[in-house]
Structure 1
Amino acid sequence: MTRRGETIELAVLGLLHEGPMHGYELRKRLNLMLGWGRVLSYGSLYPALKKMLRAGLIEDTKEATTSRRPRIAYQLTEAGNVEFQRLMSEVGPTAWEDDTFDIRFAFFGRTDMEIRLRVLEGRRSRLQERLEKVQKQLAMTQEEVDRYAAELQRHGVESVEREVRWLSELINAERTEGQRDIPPGQKTNTGQSQG
């Protein structure tokens, strides 16, 4: 499966956790999720839905309408739920790349803390590498570019620095929350279990 196809699949499966949705609603929600720079067309959505139907990850139901064509609602199957969990538990490089990170982040509430931490740390690491490269290029080309090109490069550096700070704050919050989430039977107060 292509990376874009896997991203669409992950997003659809995640959205269908909320309940059945029509193609129009899925497209609208996916476009909001993907952001202003990446618009999902029906030409990309419907082939992905058909593939997911064939794989048994989702099922469709036809609803009667006043028009000639029935409306089709899609819903998650048990196999789709298992696939969603599998995709969300991946912590390798594809989990923190630009194409998939935002979608994964949108569904972090359904993910284990350890997985969230690994994805956040991977994303931060990747951005720090990118930041170092961009800063080196900026230093080398500072005299060679006009002020507008330099401003654009500076803006890029600041954007990455801002995301690195944001990720660091999220990681710290996850770790702090993880310390609070110790099961009640394991918390002790003067040697006694709290319930």
Structure 2
Amino acid sequence: MAAGPTSLELVVLGLLKEQDMHGYELKKRMTESLGPIMHVSWGSLYPALARLEAKGAVKAVEARPAIPNIPMTGSLGGEKAAFRSTSEGLRGSRNKKVYGITDIGSALFSGILNDDNEIDEKGFAVRLAFANHMDPEKRLKMLRDRRDLILERVKSSRRSFEKKRFAFEPYVELVLEHFRSTNSSDLAWIEGLIAKEESSTQNPGTDFLVSQEIQDSL
């Protein structure tokens, strides 16, 4: 059975929806935009592009390099040298394989984003990065599911902390306290995202019982 699309493939499709790019540009954009989320090497990027191309999700498109102005130096020899250098640069640009997303790729990208299956930490971060492409209802559901998951983590860490409070294991308590503090911060953050999403979709209804439960857990 073939493996499903990876987070890296989702990122590639998302970036190619913005514009056609060659491998170097894709890697640069990933590093600049998603560096904290995922580290991408050449050894993983090009195989991902090959898999997507085999699926018909991306295709090679013709590069259209800009033609730079050749400076007028006043020296015929200097201008010839500049022209030769520019021509060689353009030939190099044309040799680079530029990728573009296809209709199949756009459908695949949308399907992954709006999938209701449970996702891991990296998968959530990547989907959130491209959440502007999601259906509003799916986006709100993803955030609420994430909130429920974090809330359960907060409860679990609270129970563990209370059990260990009087044990002679100070470093265990420090770890549990850090875990609880981090999840509490994440919970407040996700609640803020949900509130903004509900407001933007003209659906301001809130669940008071859940909100009160969250306050009691912090």
More strand by share: 1
Tell me the equivalent position of 1:183. Answer: none
The gaps in structure 1 that reach 5 residues or longer are 181-195
CA contact (8 A) 1:134 1:157 kept: yes
- The amino acid across from 1:90 in the alignment is D
Q: Distance in 2 between matches of 1:145 and 1:7?
A: 39
Percent same amino acid among aligned pairs? 29
Cα distance in structure 1, aligned partners of 2:35 and 2:169: 31
Amino acid at match of 2:114: S
Quote the offset at 1:83 in angstroms. Answer: 0.7
Q: In 1, Cα distance between the equivalents of 2:33 and 2:164?
A: 35
* Contact 2:27–2:40 under 8 Å retained in 1: yes
Displacement after TM superposition at 1:136 (Å): 2.3
Larger Cα-atom Rg:
2
**Matched length:** 177
By relative contact order (CA 8 Å, sep 6+), the higher-ranking structure is 2
Distance in 2 (alpha carbons) for counterparts of 1:30 and 1:152: 32
Q: Please state how far the C-alpha of 1:62 moved relative to its aligned partner.
A: 5.7
Residue in structure 2 matched with residue 145 of structure 1 by the alignment: 169
**Corresponding residue SS for 1:74:** strand
**Whole-Å separation in 1 of the counterparts to 2:174 and 2:107:** 46
Q: Deviations over 1:26-68 (max 9, x none)?
A: 1232234444364121111111100001111001236474549
Report the TM-score, using the length of structure 1 for normalisation.
Answer: 0.79
> Is residue 88 of structure 1 aligned with residue 113 of structure 2?
yes
Partner letter of residue 146 of structure 1? P
TM-score by length of 2: 0.71
Q: Say which is worse superposed, 161-170 or 63-72, in terms of deviation.
A: 63-72
Distance 2:140 2:102 in 1: 28
The residue identity in structure 1 corresponding to 2:177 is R
Give the secondary-structure state (helix, strand or coil) at the position aligned to 1:39.
coil
Partner letter of residue 39 of structure 1? H
Structure 2: unaligned runs, 5 residues or longer: 64-88, 204-218
Give the structure 2 partner of residue 128 of structure 1: 151
Structure 1 residues 9 and 120, CA gap change in structure 2 (3 angstroms): same
Counterpart among 89, 94, 98 of residue 121 in structure 2: 98
- Which residues of 2 match residues 11-160 of structure 1 at below 5 A? 11-36=11-36, 38-61=38-61, 63=63, 65-67=90-92, 70-94=95-119, 97-142=120-165, 143-147=167-171, 149-160=172-183
Q: Distance in 1 between matches of 2:179 and 2:123?
A: 20
Letter paired with 1:48:
A
Q: Is the Cα contact below 8 Å between 1:62 and 1:71 reproduced in 2?
A: no
- Alpha-carbon separation, structure 1, partners of 2:128 and 2:162: 33
Given the superposition, is the C-alpha separation of residues 37 and 167 from structure 1 closer, same or farther in structure 2, using an over 3 Å criterion? closer
Please say if residues 31 and 40 of structure 2, whose CA atoms lie closer than 8 Å, have aligned partners that are also in contact: yes
Q: Match for 1:133: what amino acid?
A: S
1:69 Cα offset (Å): 8.6
Letter in 2 for 1:120: L
